[in-house]
Chains A and B, each alone.
Chain A
Amino acid sequence: MIRTVLALSVLSAAPVQADVSRAVTDHILPGFAQFATHAEALSATAAADCTPAAVQPAYQAAFDAWLGVANLHIGPSETGALSIAYWPDDRAFTPRALTALIADPASRDPATFAEVSIAARGLFALDMLLYDPAFAGYAAGDATCTLVQVVSADLAAQATALDAAWRDAFAAVLTSAGAPGNATYMTGDEALRALYTQLLTGLTFDADMRLARPLGTFDQPRPRMAEAWRSGRPLRNVVLSVKAAQGLAHALTDTDLPLTDAAVARVEVAASRIDDPAFQTVTDPQARLLVDVLHQRVAAVEVAIDTEIGGALGIAAGFNALDGD
């Protein structure tokens, strides 16, 4: 069990006890197991009835579960997360790839579907197939209906593989940080640092991508740059992602996190004031203002976590990653 007492930061009242093992056992592994369960349910639902109305609820539940672990981009998720959630897609690779798949029956072979472009796989392929008018008008028996089944089955296979890879292999890499032979995490602090980085990177993604993109500028809001707007998920994704970060922060530390919890509560209040969960009304100045407030509240969570945990960890951005040459 990894238990590291970190140096006191100026702002901390007590030493932060960090516990990578607990974060893995109590937060990360249950999150992947839950996502695998929901992805399998989605695949079973689509296999039984692939029409949009039948599949949409299972898709929404799977996406909810994904947000519990979507902020993690280490280990199996380093590449695995990309083919589950391919976004942003500014060059519209997803609709192009899906159109090509619908036109060519051979390309929809479930046995080889893992080799198609990642833009045509995962949750964002389903967002488009199940909700975009250009795709979602299909009926049972249509090529698109088959494609929904293939994408759902592939998503379930990915979720199962990711769950297994975390549980059976990478969890031990994290919890054995500093042990002889561990070339990924050479000290206990490195595993902690890796998880903490995921936490903050996830919140930055919420602020900079999920919120700042649709906000655009006051003169030019960009509603279509919201994440999964077709399936009405932009607001929900922000809230669930922030709550996942809060959960990981608590699992990672022993101390109370009153600033973090208060900041997350303010995110939820700001979220409750937003009428359109898809952020499609940001073109209206009043509606945009409410999303802008949410953006500020999410940024404040980052500050709170940095204050309560990060300062003690002494985390700085990469020495070489930022150099650029």
Chain B
Amino acid sequence: MTTRRTFLAALLAAGAMPRLGWAAVGNPAYLAAAQEADGTFALFGLTEGGIETFRISLPARGHAGAGHPVRAEAVAFARRPGTFARVIDCATGRVIRDLTPPPGRQFNGHGVYDPSGAVLFTSEQDAATSDGVIGVWDVAAGYVRRAAFPSGGIGPHDLRLMPDGATLVVANGGIATDPTDRTKLNIATMRPNLSYLALDGTLLERVELRPDLAQNSIRHLAVRTDGLTGFAMQWEGEAGIVTPLLGLHRRGTDLVLALAPEADEIAMQGYAGSIAFDGAGAEVAISSPRGGRVHRFDDTGAFLGAVSRSDVCGLAARTGGLLASDGLGGLVAIANGTARPLGHADRAWDNHIVTLPKV
């Protein structure tokens, strides 16, 4: 519980000790959380080559996180329905601040800093109604809650900042959940959308799927430097129907849905867990831990091929291709469709890899 005293202490700490940049923790290119062999959880800094640059214990399994663009500071979000997010000094492992959503709200697993690192945006929902909210936190002031605005839909999940630095894109998954667990309440009537919001919360554009795909929850996002947004979906409808799991969108134009060949699509089991553009931005990939597959597409949505790897989920851009992580402890480099092992450790990498800004 945050009291005035702890809040002041955090502010003072922030003022008294200027924090170190990412260089001080080995210039990691990525943040990734994992469950260790002994069952505990930790956050790691990783280079493009898959080398660990730091390791910090986490109190519980997280979902995703965000890295401060300048300082060696990361926020790790709890799994849904999340009641806390922990801001960590990656140089010392010290907890800078535990963030708690306002009463009646839940964190939804994702957040993003603005490019200067002054503001953190968090994906949240009203616990009772699942109405989506974006929380705005003043980082410089010690992660003080400043504002909140509607996310543009139900059950928002991932959110990203567009390259203009002035627009948020939000994956409103469309699923209303029970306030106390992850039970889904509205599968028959769900309507996910992709919403573009100004940083003051003004809704700039909202895109929906066609009605027969309304049960395809839009959950994870990747944004290319030119503003092309890729979104990964999870099918909540009837089993045995082949649906696209990847969509591409450019503001002001129609959605492009990307479909793999029928047997490949069936092998994904209607589920994409992560999405990333490759280092060059020429291809976009989605992962299915259920199918143990990564599907690659070009930027027009044409299928390029699949890479098989058990329990694969985390995906991130890497020079010359992609980085994939999995629950068996593997880190795999994918370049032009060829997978090459980068490293293996006795731990289970979690759902997502967070890419840090290049300094």
Residue contact B327 to A78, C-beta cutoff 8 Å: no
Residue contact B263 to A79, C-beta cutoff 8 Å: yes
Residue contact A80 to B263, C-beta cutoff 8 Å: yes
Proximity bits, A73-113, B CB within 8 Å = 1, else 0? 01100111011000011110000000000000000000000
The total of chain A residues at the interface (CB under 8 A) is 30
List, in ascending order, chain B residues with CB within 8 A of A118's CB: 262-263, 266
Contact of B327 among A74, A75, A90, A321 (CB under 8 A): A321
The answer, yes or no, to whether B55 is at the interface (CB within 8 Å) is no
In chain A, positions 31-60 with a C-beta closer than 8 Å to chain B are none
Residue contact A184 to B309, C-beta cutoff 8 Å: yes
The answer, yes or no, to whether A220 is at the interface (CB within 8 Å) is no
Contact of A184 among B290, B339, B348 (CB under 8 A): B339
Residue contact A183 to B263, C-beta cutoff 8 Å: no
Residue contact A325 to B109, C-beta cutoff 8 Å: yes
Contact of B240 among A74, A75, A80, A88 (CB under 8 A): A88
List, in ascending order, chain A residues with CB within 8 A of B271's CB: 324
The answer, yes or no, to whether A117 is at the interface (CB within 8 Å) is yes
Residue contact A79 to B267, C-beta cutoff 8 Å: yes
The answer, yes or no, to whether A133 is at the interface (CB within 8 Å) is no
Beyond A74-B308, A186-B344, whether A325 also contacts B289 by CB under 8 A is no
Proximity bits, A293-320, B CB within 8 Å = 1, else 0? 0000000000000000000000000111
Proximity bits, B247-289, A CB within 8 Å = 1, else 0? 0000000000000011110110001010000000000000001
Tell me the interface secondary structure of chain A in the complex: loop
CA of A321 to CA of B80 in the docked complex: distance in angstroms? 16
The answer, yes or no, to whether B341 is at the interface (CB within 8 Å) is yes
Interface size class on chain B is 35 or more
The answer, yes or no, to whether A323 is at the interface (CB within 8 Å) is yes
Residue contact B341 to A318, C-beta cutoff 8 Å: no
Residue contact B240 to A91, C-beta cutoff 8 Å: yes
Give the shortest distance, in Å, between B125 (CB) and chain A (any CB).
13
CA of A90 to CA of B239 in the docked complex: distance in angstroms? 9
Specify the chain A residue showing the minimal Cβ separation from B220. A325
The answer, yes or no, to whether A217 is at the interface (CB within 8 Å) is no
CA of A63 to CA of B288 in the docked complex: distance in angstroms? 30
Contact of A320 among B238, B239, B240, B311 (CB under 8 A): B311
Proximity bits, A247-279, B CB within 8 Å = 1, else 0? 000000000000000000000000000000000
List, in ascending order, chain B residues with CB within 8 A of A79's CB: 261, 263-264, 266-267, 306
Residue contact A325 to B351, C-beta cutoff 8 Å: yes
Beyond A74-B308, A184-B309, whether A319 also contacts B327 by CB under 8 A is yes
The answer, yes or no, to whether A181 is at the interface (CB within 8 Å) is yes
Give the shortest distance, in Å, between B255 (CB) and chain A (any CB).
23
Give the shortest distance, in Å, between B312 (CB) and chain A (any CB).
8
Contact of B219 among A88, A91, A325 (CB under 8 A): A325
Residue contact A325 to B79, C-beta cutoff 8 Å: yes
In chain B, positions 288-347 with a C-beta closer than 8 Å to chain A are 289-290, 292-293, 306-313, 326-330, 332, 339-341, 344
The contact sample of 16 A-B pairs, CB cut-off 8 A, is A74-B308, A78-B308, A90-B240, A181-B340, A182-B341, A186-B344, A190-B328, A318-B289, A318-B290, A320-B311, A320-B326, A321-B311, A323-B289, A324-B234, A325-B63, A325-B351
